[in-house]
């Protein structure tokens, strides 16, 4: 199957150029946690593509005079050269070189910035890797003008996955599925696809406010986290549960069942953390303020009948999900009652978005 992403001939015919993509972050509803080589998920996951949290990357490329040794690139983050990112991108390049044969033929400058604050604890790897993947695809498109739009985005997602698994869900909007599932046509372990099986309008413009509980570096890298699922005593059961939760969320989306949505999404978040707490070594990534927020959300829901719920990534930050119709009330609640649990009272309002955009700059 991967074979279809290996181009027949892709001689780097262009001398130089520059391309810019703006790519979104995403938040998983049914979580990906556990993988096989090379970056293949143990279960299907599904996510909302976000809108305001995004990465903008400009890739400048020029033909190398003599192609010796390894890749030739530098990374600039927020205007400053960043050596620390190079090993991750080098690994990414090694993984994708089969599919992007012109990689060694150019000198690249990867100039990138995130819309969310650096070290905010929001993972930039999903949006960051999908941005590089899309920029490379734009170069491929210059060389291979017959590439269809569908093939372009599918390969972009395929490449992004090889950078960071969840990055394959950061190409398209507004809901994306990654991982083969018997009840989702076209779903694949190799790339994410837009979920189009009937979604009630309430979920089309769902809101996500990210509470920045802990802004530091991630305590457990996702690579380490995924590896802990190998030999985990509950792993097989968890993977089956995720497949079943995909069936459930299909019905939820189709039937506009927000109460079931809440139950499923919160359970998924807590299960992800439960898997970390029961692995060896074990971790607790929630902070006291994570739990404060969760309890406040539950009380608020009970008192007001609100449909506000939470989900978590592999960290302490909380994503608060709610229908657009509750925007004003919930945002007031966040400002007045939850901001105190955030580092520097900081949070980011976001919502479901439509996917990556190429910028002409």
- Which residues would be at the binding site for ligand PMV (CB under 6 A)? 28, 31-33, 45, 123, 125, 164-166, 222, 272, 313-314
Where residue 52 falls (left for φ over 0; alpha for ψ -120 to 50; beta otherwise) is alpha
How deeply is 309 buried, as exposed, middle or buried, from its count of CB atoms within 10 A (0-12, 13-18, 19+)? buried
Closer Cβ to ligand PMV, 140 or 315, answer by number: 315
Q: Give 36's strand partners.
A: 40
Longest dimension (CA), the chain: 69
Closer Cβ to ligand PMV, 32 or 300, answer by number: 32
Cβ-proximal residues to 214 (8 Å cutoff; 6+ apart), any chain? 121, 287, 289, 315, 316, 317, 343
Where residue 256 falls (left for φ over 0; alpha for ψ -120 to 50; beta otherwise) is left
Closer Cβ to ligand PMV, 56 or 127, answer by number: 127
Q: Cβ 265 to ligand PMV, closest distance in Å? A: 12
Q: Cβ 63 to ligand PMV, closest distance in Å? A: 33
Closer Cβ to ligand PMV, 32 or 341, answer by number: 32
Closer Cβ to ligand PMV, 28 or 262, answer by number: 28
Closer Cβ to ligand PMV, 165 or 173, answer by number: 165
Q: Where do we find the tokens 């890797």?
A: 129
Q: Cβ 96 to ligand PMV, closest distance in Å? A: 16
Backbone angles phi, psi at 220, to 5 degrees: -125, 120
Q: Cβ 312 to ligand PMV, closest distance in Å? A: 8
Q: Cβ 343 to ligand PMV, closest distance in Å? A: 20
Q: Cβ 198 to ligand PMV, closest distance in Å? A: 22
For residue 283, the tally of other CB atoms under 10 A from its CB is: 17
**Calpha distance 95→38 (Å, rounded):** 8
Two structure tokens written together for 202? 């309430």
Q: Cβ 236 to ligand PMV, closest distance in Å? A: 18
Q: Cβ 303 to ligand PMV, closest distance in Å? A: 30
Closer Cβ to ligand PMV, 49 or 58, answer by number: 49
Backbone angles phi, psi at 349, to 5 degrees: -85, 130
Closer Cβ to ligand PMV, 20 or 290, answer by number: 290
Where does the chain show beta strands of DSSP type E?
A: 16-30, 35-36, 40-41, 45-63, 72-77, 80-81, 106-114, 175-178, 192-194, 207-211, 309-312, 318-322, 347-351, 357-359
Backbone angles phi, psi at 13, to 5 degrees: -80, -20
């Amino acid at each position: 199957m991967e074979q279809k992403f290996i181009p027949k001939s892709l001689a780097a015919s262009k001398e130089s150029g520059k391309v810019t993509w703006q790519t979104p972050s995403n938040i998983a509803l049914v979580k990906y946690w556990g993988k096989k080589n090379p970056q293949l998920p143990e279960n299907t996951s599904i996510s909302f593509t976000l809108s305001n949290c995004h990465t903008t990357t400009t890739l400048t490329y020029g033909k190398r005079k003599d192609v010796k040794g390894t890749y030739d690139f530098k990374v600039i983050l927020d205007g400053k050269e960043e050596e620390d990112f190079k090993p991750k991108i080098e690994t990414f390049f090694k993984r994708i070189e089969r599919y992007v044969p012109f990689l060694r033929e150019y000198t690249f400058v990867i100039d990138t910035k995130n819309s969310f604050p650096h070290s905010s604890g929001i993972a930039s790897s999903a949006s960051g890797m999908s941005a590089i993947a899309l920029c490379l695809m734009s170069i491929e498109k210059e060389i291979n003008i017959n590439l269809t739009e569908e093939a372009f985005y599918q390969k972009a997602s395929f490449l992004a996955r090889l950078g960071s698994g969840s990055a394959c869900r950061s190409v398209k909007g507004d809901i994306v599925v990654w991982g083969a599932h018997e009840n989702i046509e076209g779903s694949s372990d190799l790339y994410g696809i837009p979920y189009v099986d009937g979604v009630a309008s309430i979920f089309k413009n769902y809101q996500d406010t990210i509470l920045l509980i802990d802004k530091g570096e991630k305590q457990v890298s996702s690579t380490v986290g995924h590896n802990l699922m190998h030999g985990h005593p509950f792993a097989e059961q968890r993977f089956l549960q995720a497949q079943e939760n995909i069936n459930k969320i299909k019905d939820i989306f189709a039937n506009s069942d927000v109460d079931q949505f809440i139950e499923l999404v919160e359970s998924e978040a807590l299960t992800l953390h439960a898997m970390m707490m029961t692995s060896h070594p074990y971790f607790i990534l929630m902070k006291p303020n994570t739990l404060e927020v969760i309890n406040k959300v539950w009380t608020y829901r009970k008192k007001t009948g609100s449909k506000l719920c939470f989900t978590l990534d592999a960290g302490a930050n909380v994503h608060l999900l709610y229908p657009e119709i509750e925007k004003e009330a919930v945002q007031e609640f966040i400002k007045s009652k939850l901001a105190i649990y955030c580092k520097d009272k900081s949070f980011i309002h976001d919502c479901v978005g439509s996917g990556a955009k190429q910028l002409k700059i």
